[in-house]
A and B are shown apart, each in its own frame.
Chain A
């Protein structure tokens, strides 16, 4: 992406990022920028609260009971002791520690 020239460009990127609406190259570039910019990170977090609220603008649908059972099953299939080791290995490999969408691995 072209280097943003002023603050409002960065705010546009933060809004687009929180909405998952940036093009892939822009998204990767902004994600790299986020890691070194506390101001943009804070702005993106605020926008993320908005996107989380937008989830409530859609009609409520009751999830199938099988979904709750599936969530409960994964905890039995993946006991924490094993997953802790994996989480540590992953964190080392990717050089990140926090569990938040901004640090999400992209497909």
Chain B
């Protein structure tokens, strides 16, 4: 029995406030909400279970150490945890690339089809996954390709330009256009239904 079960109905923002007071069970409750997507993301980028677990542990440790400085006006804790996982995974994949071959562009471009067999996902994750996949599917192919190479491959804009054989300026424009469209699509979906992950 995990102590974090007592926090099941708490909002994320309430959990961060408890973490700031040194409540270890509140951190575990946040891990129970975001540990799985964070680990899935880190593993996708790093293609190595040990490195992925190390990144996720470091991200939750950074929240544990810095929760008092967490400013909810700058974004939700879910966004913080997943963005931080992405940033750290990209840092690690770049650091490691001299030691081993990182995942190739083909792996970076593969789209999620859904949870693997045997994994039961909570409603929020299912909804959120469906929405981002639909939004990505709406993007013109060159925009989606540029975004996914950067996000899942950890490639810089310059590296993406050389991978796809387009001028750097074109790649920058595609990434910004793709991000803008995803933002609008997700916002539109959020208007129809409150995003559970924007809860404060």
Please list the residues of chain A having a beta carbon within 8 angstroms of any beta carbon in chain B: 8, 11-12, 14-16, 18-23, 45-64, 66-68, 70-72, 74-76, 78-81, 83-84, 86-87, 91, 97-102, 104, 106-107
Interface residues of A: mostly helix, strand, loop or mixed?
A: helix
- Number of A-B residue pairs with CB-CB distance less than 8 Å in the complex they form: 215
C-alpha spacing A15/B180, complex, angstroms: 8
Contact B156 A57 (CB under 8 A): no
Q: Which B residues are in CB contact (< 8 Å) with A101? A: 80, 83-84, 87
In this complex, the interface size class of chain B, counting residues with CB under 8 Å from chain A, is 35 or more
Q: Which of A15, A67, A100 contacts B39 (CB 8 A)?
A: A67
Q: Which A residues are in CB contact (< 8 Å) with B197? A: 52
User: What are some 30 contacts across the A-B interface (CB < 8 A)?
Assistant: A11-B180, A16-B150, A16-B157, A19-B150, A19-B175, A19-B179, A21-B155, A22-B156, A48-B83, A53-B186, A56-B131, A57-B112, A60-B37, A60-B40, A60-B115, A60-B116, A60-B129, A61-B43, A63-B35, A67-B53, A67-B56, A72-B28, A72-B31, A74-B61, A75-B27, A84-B68, A100-B70, A106-B91, A107-B91, A107-B95
Q: Given the known inter-chain contacts A20-B86, A21-B160, A61-B40, please indicate yes or no for A70 contacting B176, CB distance below 8 A.
A: no
Contact B64 A83 (CB under 8 A): yes
Please list the residues of chain B having a beta carbon within 8 angstroms of any beta carbon in chain A: 21-22, 24, 27-28, 31-32, 35-41, 43-44, 49, 53, 56-57, 60-71, 74-75, 78-80, 82-87, 90-91, 95, 111-116, 119, 121, 125, 128-129, 131-133, 135-136, 147, 150-152, 154-158, 160, 172-173, 175-176, 179-180, 182-183, 186, 197-198
B41, B44, B111 interface centre (most CB from chain A within 10 Å) = B41
Q: Which of B32, B71, B151, B198 contacts A98 (CB 8 A)?
A: B71
Q: Which A residues are in CB contact (< 8 Å) with B90? A: 20
Q: Which A residues are in CB contact (< 8 Å) with B41? A: 55, 58
Known contacts A52-B86, A99-B62; can you find 15 more A-B pairs with CB under 8 A?
A15-B179, A18-B179, A54-B132, A55-B85, A57-B133, A60-B40, A61-B36, A61-B40, A62-B119, A64-B49, A67-B53, A71-B56, A79-B22, A101-B80, A106-B91
